[in-house]
Amino acid sequence: MRIAIVGAGKSGLFLAEELMHAHELTLIDYRYDHVERARVEYPDINVIHGDACEPEVLHFAEIGTQDLAIAVTGDDEDNLVVAMLSKHFGTKTVFARINHPRNEWLFTKEWGVDVAVSSTAVMLSLVEKEIGLGDLVTLLRLQADNVEIEEIKLPSDAGVVGKRLAELSLPTGTHVMAILCEEGLRVASGDTLLAAGDELLIINQGVEEFAVREALGLKPVETTQPTVTEETGH
């Protein structure tokens, strides 16, 4: 897969390092020192010095031939401009980072954003989900103790089907980060309506799986009991 990453800061370099071994990457940044650092540390990545908000720079980067564009600059306005221009040039899918939660309402498909996320770790998990790679737990590389990532698919008889996330009583330390459904990937919010077949990406800290399943109205996981055969003596 061809992937263009706009922004060579900590977030952009983290994503580049994780994805470079399996994909053809292009990294774009207007800051000369960041570009030089990226070229030294990742010589196999195509690094371009330029402002990605300028159409000429994206045209030079062949953004229209990219399968995925990821805008992770520290400026929400820049990320939106990059998303809009990338879609204009024909990029198939665009992920964009939200730096300030108050701007979340702008990050829509009308602005060219297919998936908007406010955490680089969540963005990486969504990228990996989109392209079908590996184990999310390993790829997220969470640096917190006692933190687990779970993927739980809701059956039709789950108690939370038809409810909104804000209505759930999840255990303290449990959060639904994203949802994979028929329409694609969605960043979870309080207004998100749950449906049968939704696959929830859940992060929890110090919470047993049975407690999470109980909160979601799921039946306990059945365990197979060994069969004991009684023998009669002679």
Please check whether residue 69 is in contact with residue 44, taking contact to mean a CB–CB distance below 8 angstroms: no
The overall average pLDDT reported for the chain is 81
pLDDT at 129: 56
Residue range 2-131 in CATH 3.90.1150.10? no
CA angle at 125 for the pair 159 and 133, rounded to the nearest 5° = 105
| Residue ranges per structural domain of the chain | 2-131, 145-215
Segments in the chain below pLDDT 50: 121, 132-145, 223-234
User: What pTM did the predictor assign?
Assistant: 0.56
CATH topology of domain 145-215: Alpha-Beta Plaits (3.30.70)
Structural contact between residues 87 and 112, judged by C-beta atoms closer than 8 angstroms: yes
pLDDT of residue 223: 42
C-alpha 216/C-alpha 195 separation (Å) is 12
Which token pair is 182? Answer: 């028929």
Cα–Cα distance for residue pair 58/55, rounded to 1 Å:
5
